[in-house]
Structure 1
Amino acid sequence: MSFTSFIPQDKASEELQEQIVQIMRLDADLHAKIPRPLRMPMTNLLRVVNSYYSNKIEGNSTIPADILRAEAQDAPQEIKTSKDFQEIKRHIEAQRRLTDDPINPVEVCSRDSISRLHREFYVGVPEEMLDIQLNEQGDIVRMIPGEFRQHGVRVGHHIPPTVEQMLAHLGQFERVYRLDWIHGLSRFLAAAAAHHRLMWIHPFMDGNGRTGRLFTDQYLKAAGFGGYGLWSMSRGFARNTAVYYDRLNAADHPRKGDQDGRGILSDSGLLRWTQYFTETALDQVQYFSAQLDPERLSERINIYFELRSRGALSDSKGNALPELRIEAREVYKTLLYMGDQPRAELQARLGAGERTTRGLLSQMAKEGLITLDGRKPVSLNLSRHSIEFLFPYLW
């Protein structure tokens, strides 16, 4: 027996539909208004955000400051080599590969694509981490990244479909969530349902949660949410992990009579999950829209560089940041609103000498505020210290 694909638009309440329309509008606005030079640094930052929160849901204890330090290559070796950090690093690299070699939007829900998402996360993992405990008796099986499970499993109170049922459900999943036949608000309703259905099917021996969230990232992009990648569902899910799992569990329940749909799972549970998914998306797109609002961002940039020029700003651990000339603000805003610039052009805008400009750019590059690469034009970056100030409450 099959499951309900998603809540039909005519069964969605007026409030739910209005929320989805608001998400679509805010996403389009975010996609349109972000300064082009900031898009790549923000995309890189959101990979870190996604990875941190998706792994946090799974119990990973790495803190954001250590992730950003390691990304900047100045973290202690014991952090870089820890299991928790390696999980996050693999997750970031998987997202980068998926950007460089994207999945065809029509094929995003195919078995091959889902297999690839799982395989991407496990690239480079030590072999001992692929040994999965099969049962309470301690039997061990070796998981092959990207290969669908060949054993029955139990996950807490949830008993996923048998192997035979799983393969049938994956076939249904591939058919019903194809985006070439889903349009309008139904694309978002399908994204919500698909996230739950993939987690419920539980196609792999391990890594289903992170794979499911990677899938949702890809599906929302494929569904036409052009601003996605500048906001994050994983951040929203991780804000209250207990609620996330509670809503997933509600949609796991079997159908409760003829008034609860015609599939094997509860339509009322799916509606409850869809409402939660929608509220989470709206909260996240509102947060990132506010942070990236040009006027508010410009104001925070002004304050950041004013404080830095007076040596009056500390990092998250209370350590004073070095004084930075106020001219750094002009450099930063020029790169933000005008894009990459030759060093000579920046020197001319500052009206400063070559030595002064060189020293300022070197300090900004050392801190990660800009990127200097040989003779290439200077480009914008987001340093771990500026992130803490320019994007408050991100973590």
Structure 2
Amino acid sequence: MVAKGWRILHLPTEVGGNGYGLSRGERAHGLRSDVLVAFGSSFGFPADRTLYTGPSANRLVYWGRRLNLVREFLGLRDAYDVYHFNFATTLLDPHGTGNLADLPFYGRDSLKVFTFNGCDARQKYPTMRRCDYSACHQEDCYGGVCNDGKRDAHRARRIRKVDRYADLIFALNPDLFWTLPERTEFLPYTISTWDRLAERTPAASGPLHVVHAPSNRACKGSGAVIGVMERLARESGGRIRFTLVENISNDEALRIYARADLLIDQLYVGWYGAIAVEAMKMGVPVLSFIRDEDLRFIPTGMARDCRELFSPVTVDTLEPVLRTIFDTPGELRRTAGKALDYVHAWHDPAKVARTVLDRYEAAFAAKSGRQPYRSEGV
């Protein structure tokens, strides 16, 4: 049975609010679960402790912060039973530029758990060899930082080190399984705002409001989204309104999603992101490109429900898909209901945490040589 005395620490990034959402799910099961973020971002995702917000160009400040990270590490490396690292980073390697030097030195009897979130595992040229349509095919994706191939090699080295030291490895995106160790397990997104997001009340009248919120335009196919939506909005004679959401906090973005009738997530990556989960939790339908061949890596039931929920869409088919949606009375309302059912079935933090706690339990059992407790599920 899951030990109520476990101390769990999620660290050191806030990517998408996933660690905080999972932590609150673990707390719902009576566990002590904390979130430590080394460097916060402008998105403003919550944490129990955030050491610093944003970088500093001052070298003295930089080295002072590095020294303080070492002090933090020495103070916490034996303080928890589970260290759950996000975005393949550790406290002394929070930006992912080093070689996870501190990874071997967390408590000997503790669990070391990793969640890969996206481009911490995704590799450009293996992806391009495997398929002919992806974000990795876009030369300007995140400014082309992966184009020379060096990041592929760097990520592969880090994955090998994680595989050597980690007791458990999770991935949030199905496409990551092509480059991660075979023992990797799929983990649905959890979001930090789950408990405070209510189903929105659709406007009785007014234009249909479509929202797109790219973290990176090239990665998300935003050029196509903007072009199609601006054209459809002009043709609609005021029946369609389009909002591009960028460079604002998560709280500000959520207020815009709550007034949307449809959210377009991404058209290249092959899965949906945390913003899609946030939107679906509010009853906002989502369009997102789903790569069917990657669904082999997720639970069978989730793959079935995903295929039923998400309309097949790419850069080339976005416009006809949108025209069909807009010209079909009641389609957005029906899809909103299915999105709510889907998000509650697969992304409820308490349900996701139940699965993760069972995996912690099995990993502790493997360390001690005893048989793990088997949960009946939620």
Radius of gyration: which is bigger?
A: 1
* Greater relative CO, 1 or 2 (CA 8 Å, sep 6+): 1
Q: Same fold (TM over 0.5)?
A: no
With the length of structure 2 as denominator, give the TM-score of the two structures: 0.32
Which one has a larger percent strand, Structure 1 or Structure 2?
2
With the length of structure 1 as denominator, give the TM-score of the two structures: 0.31
